[in-house]
Amino acid sequence: MSIEFVGSPKPTLGVELELQLVDPATKDLTAESVPLLDLCRRRGIERVKAEITQSMVEIDTEISADVKECRAHLAKRIAQLQAVAQEIGVELAVSGTHPFQCWRERKIFPNSRYRYLLRKFRWLAARMNVYGLHVHVGVRSGADAIAISNAAIRYLPHLLALSASSPYWEGVDTGLHSCRAGVMESFPISGLPYYFPNWQEFEKYCDTLLHTGAIASLKDLYWFIRPSPAYGTLEFRVCDGIPTLSETMALVALIQTLVVWIDDGLRTKARSETISMRRYWIAPENLWVAARDGLDGMIIVNEEGKKRKISDDILNLMEHLAPISKRLNCYEELIFLGEIIRRGSSAKRQRALFRRTQSLEAVVGALVNEFATGMPDLDDHEEVNVARLPRRPTADVTPLSTIALRHRARADLRRYH
């Protein structure tokens, strides 16, 4: 089959961000996406979409020429949605996972797409209550999208480490900086993409999956980086949702400049010479290290097995990207990555606040505050009224009796059929 790729002559941008709907009193998730989306429609607010559960929505931007225009679009959308959320008594937050929600309590959004996902993926879809940042960068052709994707595999761990914001799962400290990455990788066609030597091989792969019913559309390719032919973009999907606008735009700047830098390099060599298969062998290990250890992780940086701290490798990468960022008018956003490295990712902030307060509700309160202000909440944690919030220790999961487990299993099975 032939897949038309609607190419973009310039590295335009589009951003998608998945948001949590939070109950102001309990700081747990609340199933309010239906009334929120209805009010958005009545107010003429566009680009706010349903997601798989009723406790989340997605916002996206118009096609943007550069990072600053993209930031303006995203800031406008956030402000519009904050006003609507306030009207219906809901708070908004972003992080890769909600620290203590229970996926069994979530309600699937009532449309055919999500009913299909639940039938197809069962338990995997039901617990997919995770939140990501997706960044689209325009590329000229499908061939360019594949070539750039092949080379960009090496840098996906860097993006994950910088964006890591999901250390907690259902009230438990997972020991990871991003447990969202593991949740996403549990799907059959997810995580790191396969190596494709050219666009034609990608077309053959998709044709096989579509013909056999393995996928219904290219939307079912849940890779951390994938071509988006209809938009003429390469889509980066590895990042956890980031709580603040300033950090989000730093990652957007990194991704855009990275694509242009790789593309510039590809022009000087044959497409088939741009990737060593050994890079693909070590990529899963580096991605795991980034998910586990965040910016402190030691990743493999060459085929001889040399290791380097991921934060140091990011700083080295920034030196290469700085001239391109000036050309693309996003130097200020790019150098903000240095602040993330110096102060730590959201995962680090969440753990630090929990150590101080012993309250995951306080952690959610800080995430709400960060999303509202657009800047990391580094020191002023007293804004969160911890005293009025019930404390939820991150102890081991409460043991359930065998009978309770059986009842829960039966209830889960009924949801999938």
Is 404's pLDDT higher than 50?
Answer: no
pLDDT value at residue 397 = 37
pLDDT value at residue 1 = 84
With CA atoms as reference, report the closest residue to 130 among 56, 226, 219. 56
Q: Which long-range contacts (CB under 8 A, 24 or more apart) does 33-38 make?
A: 33/57, 33/109, 34/109, 34/110, 35/88, 36/81, 36/84, 36/85, 36/88, 36/90
> Domain of 176: which CATH number?
3.30.590.20
Q: Is residue 129 part of a domain?
A: yes
| C-alpha atoms less than 13 angstroms from C-alpha of 298 in its C-beta half-sphere | 4
Q: How many domains does the chain have?
A: 1
Q: Is residue 69 part of a domain?
A: yes
pLDDT value at residue 111 = 92
With CA atoms as reference, report the closest residue to 6 among 165, 184, 229. 229
pTM: 0.90
Which two structure tokens, joined as six digits, stand for 223? Answer: 């890779």
Sign of CA dihedral 256, 261, 262, 266: positive
- Cα gap 165→180, rounded to integer Å: 8
Q: How far apart are the first and last CA of the chain?
A: 33
pLDDT interval class at 270 (50, 70, 90): low
Is 412's pLDDT higher than 90?
Answer: no
- Cα gap 211→194, rounded to integer Å: 19
Tally of CB atoms within 10 A around 278: 12
DSSP for 350-378, written as a single string: HHHHHHHH--HHHHHHHHHHHHHHSS---
- Cα gap 41→382, rounded to integer Å: 37
pLDDT interval class at 400 (50, 70, 90): very low
Is 321's pLDDT higher than 90?
Answer: yes
Sign of CA dihedral 237, 262, 160, 37: negative
- Cα gap 250→333, rounded to integer Å: 5
Q: Is residue 1 part of a domain?
A: no
Average of per-residue pLDDT across 206-233: 97
Q: Is residue 70 part of a domain?
A: yes
pLDDT value at residue 398 = 36
pLDDT value at residue 416 = 40
pLDDT tens profile 76-131 = 999 999 999 999 999 999 999 999 999 999 999 999 999 999 999 999 999 999 99
pLDDT higher at 211 or 279: 211
pLDDT value at residue 93 = 99
With CA atoms as reference, report the closest residue to 416 among 109, 118, 54, 111. 118
The secondary structure of residue 244, as a DSSP letter, is -
With CA atoms as reference, report the closest residue to 313 among 96, 175, 161, 192. 161
For 187, the domain range is: 13-415
Average of per-residue pLDDT across 229-253: 98
With CA atoms as reference, report the closest residue to 351 among 182, 168, 213. 168
Non-local (6+) Cβ contacts of 86 within 8 A are none
- Cα gap 9→251, rounded to integer Å: 22
pLDDT tens profile 3-53 = 999 999 999 999 999 999 999 999 999 999 999 999 999 999 999 999 999
pLDDT value at residue 275 = 59
Q: Is residue 5 part of a domain?
A: no
pLDDT value at residue 399 = 37
The secondary structure of residue 241, as a DSSP letter, is P
Residue whose pair of structure tokens reads 């993926």 in the numeric block:
121
| C-alpha atoms less than 13 angstroms from C-alpha of 358 in its C-beta half-sphere | 5
| C-alpha atoms less than 13 angstroms from C-alpha of 178 in its C-beta half-sphere | 33
pLDDT interval class at 160 (50, 70, 90): very high
pLDDT value at residue 379 = 59
3-class secondary-structure state, position 323: helix
pLDDT tens profile 341-389 = 999 999 999 999 999 999 999 999 999 999 999 988 765 443 333 333 3
pLDDT value at residue 393 = 44
Q: Is residue 47 part of a domain?
A: yes
Q: How high is the mean pLDDT of the chain?
A: 90
Q: Is residue 156 part of a domain?
A: yes
